[in-house]
Amino acid sequence: MKRLIKTFEFAESCRNDYDLTGGLRISELGRLEVPRVDAQGVPEPQPAEYGVLQTYTARTKNFNPKAAISWELFQVRHPRPAVHPDPLVSTPPYEIRFRVSDGTTDMYWDGAAWTEATLDTHWNSESEVSANMNSFAIASRTIAFVINMWTLHPSVTPSIKTLKLLYWSKLSEEYDLIYESLIPELRENIRGRARFAYRMPSDATSIDLSDPEALGFESSYNITNVLEAYNFSSDSEKSSNILLGYDLGTQVVSLSSTVATNEILWIEFEYVPAVARLTSRDYSEVSSIPGLDITNVQVEVVQDQVNDTEVVIDNATNSGWSVPGPSQKDINFSIELTCDKQYDLEFLIDSVRRWAQKKVIRMRGSDSEYTMRKLGGFSTSSSTNSKNFRTAKANFSIIYVPFFERAAVPANSLQGIDFSGGNLQLTL
């Protein structure tokens, strides 16, 4: 297990990571601020001033690290303190408040527990959120922050540069990227296409696909949808699609016209191929065809250590944790496709190509995206044994993946500097 830090940056490039419909804005300096409003003047307009409404809000996107096991600390970084324009007034001329969401419900700390926020008074300070962060529900592995801030004086705005969240995680980078991220993503996105011809044993306007062995399927297909159906005996050109519908639950195909006894019903369908990770393969032992295998996984060190140490401090107690910079590594792997029909193989290759065009992959354990590169095209071959398998393989690389391999250490913030008797003393 390791401590990790999620940083919410209010930079222009991160604008899509926030819901700003509540009125708060991200400035050109990379800060969350109260919006400016156009002031009216006669005869000349006055300079725009900050809005003084107390209802301005912003919301972070849901952060959903699947490997998280508990939340720990929360910190707000301000680029500078906003001071009252009247030097005789020491009270900060603004207010900043927070709610915390589990992805479904916005909550606040009521003094004893996290409770659904329903009233305008149901907000917390930064210190209240941080002090009770470790008791916020972890079951959904989802968290988001709602920010409410306003100014009491139109010439001054509060501002936030970043929000930081420290959390415990059981992340194992290579395992998570391959087993918990890549394999599930391929299962969710890769779809094959296949076809079969069936001689009807009796007149019928439907066919049950739930018993593929009885139907004479040569491969094991996990069918998700039927795309087309034709009476091949009377329509060898396949010009009239007689598919009426497909019930995924019962696996029954409904036809718009009767296919008579001994006529050939031609069906094209979509399926989910089997996906697994293998280090080597003996084709005589393959039990699920068509299939995708993740092979030749190799981790290559790009940089031993990144010096960008991240720190999260509880500003109320001035203590927290420092997370040393990670090493950066590339994860190289191959995707190998195996089918017993050339038709199936060509459609699988096309599906993988289209999936690879997005060029990113999300590590689900840390809810982070990394660049993925396809290294060259697919190489194809056919086996020489009696099974006559068709295979294709392409190489990929996920680059600059951070591996957090050094433990976090306790940290403290500097409270002040005292000069006494000519000696410099640092107070922590």
Domain co-membership, 12 together with 104: yes
Residue 283 has pLDDT above 50, yes or no: no
**Predicted local distance difference test score (pLDDT) of residue 140:** 94
- Please check whether residue 424 lies inside any domain of the structure: no
Q: Calculate the alpha carbon distances from 231 to 208, 246, 253, 257, 358 in Å.
A: 16, 17, 13, 9, 39
Residue 385 has pLDDT above 60, yes or no: no
Within 10 Å of residue 217's Cβ, how many Cβ atoms?
A: 15
Among 31-45, 129-143, 304-318, 385-399, name the one with the lowest average pLDDT. 31-45
- With vertex at residue 297, the alpha carbon angle to CA 385 and CA 356, rounded to the nearest 5 degrees, is 90
Residue that is written with structure tokens 């369908």 in the block: 269
Q: Calculate the alpha carbon distances from 51 to 90, 150, 155, 159 in Å.
A: 21, 8, 9, 13
Domain co-membership, 268 together with 312: no
d(CA 230, CA 241): 5
Residue 286 has pLDDT above 50, yes or no: no
**Predicted local distance difference test score (pLDDT) of residue 386:** 47
pLDDT in tens, 347-370: 999 999 999 998 999 999 999 999
Number of domains in the chain: 3
**Predicted local distance difference test score (pLDDT) of residue 288:** 64
d(CA 402, CA 424): 39
Report the percent of the chain where pLDDT is more than 90.
69
Domain co-membership, 157 together with 209: no
**Predicted local distance difference test score (pLDDT) of residue 282:** 47
d(CA 294, CA 277): 4
User: Can you state the percent helix, strand and coil of the chain, rounding each to 5?
Assistant: 15, 45, 40
Q: If you write DSSP's letter for every residue of 262-321 in order, what string do you get?
A: TPEEEEEEEEEPEEEE-SS--GGG--SSSEEEEEEEEEEEEES-----EEEEETTTTEEE
What 8-state DSSP symbol labels residue 16?
Answer: G
Residues 6+ apart with CB under 8 A from 398: 177, 330, 331, 333, 361, 370, 371, 372, 373
- Please check whether residue 423 lies inside any domain of the structure: no
Report the predicted TM-score, pTM, of the whole model to 2 decimal places.
0.84
Domain co-membership, 157 together with 43: yes
Residue at a domain's end among 233, 257, 272:
272
Residue 426 has pLDDT above 60, yes or no: no
**Predicted local distance difference test score (pLDDT) of residue 79:** 74
Domain co-membership, 264 together with 285: no
**Predicted local distance difference test score (pLDDT) of residue 39:** 58
Domain co-membership, 7 together with 154: yes
Residues 6+ apart with CB under 8 A from 108: 99, 100, 114, 115, 117, 122, 123, 124
Among 284-293, 301-310, 418-427, name the one with the lowest average pLDDT. 418-427
Residue 338, domain CATH: 3.30.2000
**Predicted local distance difference test score (pLDDT) of residue 285:** 43
**Predicted local distance difference test score (pLDDT) of residue 74:** 97
- Please check whether residue 421 lies inside any domain of the structure: no
pLDDT in tens, 24-80: 999 988 999 999 886 555 555 556 688 888 899 999 999 999 999 999 999 999 876
Q: Partners of 21 in the beta sheet?
A: none
Residue 201 has pLDDT above 90, yes or no: yes
pLDDT in tens, 103-114: 999 999 999 999
Burial degree of 152 (CB within 10 A; 0-12, 13-18, 19+):
middle
**Predicted local distance difference test score (pLDDT) of residue 171:** 95
Domain co-membership, 160 together with 183: no
Q: Calculate the alpha carbon distances from 305 to 233, 327, 368, 400 in Å.
A: 67, 4, 19, 12
Residue at a domain's end among 170, 201, 236:
170
On average, the pLDDT of the chain sits at 88
**Predicted local distance difference test score (pLDDT) of residue 176:** 95
- Band (pLDDT 50/70/90 cuts) for residue 424 is low
Q: Phi, psi (5° rounding) for residue 263?
A: -80, 155
**Predicted local distance difference test score (pLDDT) of residue 154:** 83
What 8-state DSSP symbol labels residue 374?
Answer: E
Pairing of strands 162-169, 222-231: unpaired
Query: What average pLDDT does the segment 218-235 reach?
Result: 92
Residue at a domain's end among 226, 252, 272:
272
d(CA 5, CA 165): 6
Residue 16, domain CATH: 2.60.120
Residue that is written with structure tokens 């190509």 in the block: 353
- Band (pLDDT 50/70/90 cuts) for residue 90 is low
Query: What average pLDDT does the segment 195-210 reach?
Result: 94
d(CA 33, CA 149): 8
Report the percent of the chain where pLDDT is more than 70.
87
Among 48-52, 176-180, 222-226, name the one with the lowest average pLDDT. 48-52
> Under a CB-based contact definition with an 8 Å cutoff, are residues 163 and 122 in contact?
no
Query: What average pLDDT does the segment 371-395 reach?
Result: 81
d(CA 138, CA 181): 20
Residue 301: domain span = 174-188+275-409
Domain co-membership, 211 together with 228: yes
Domain co-membership, 283 together with 249: no
Q: Partners of 422 in the beta sheet?
A: none
Query: What average pLDDT does the segment 214-218 reach?
Result: 84
Among 76-85, 238-247, 261-270, 306-315, name the one with the lowest average pLDDT. 76-85
> Under a CB-based contact definition with an 8 Å cutoff, are residues 279 and 178 in contact?
no
Q: Give the 3-state secondary structure of residue 223.
A: strand
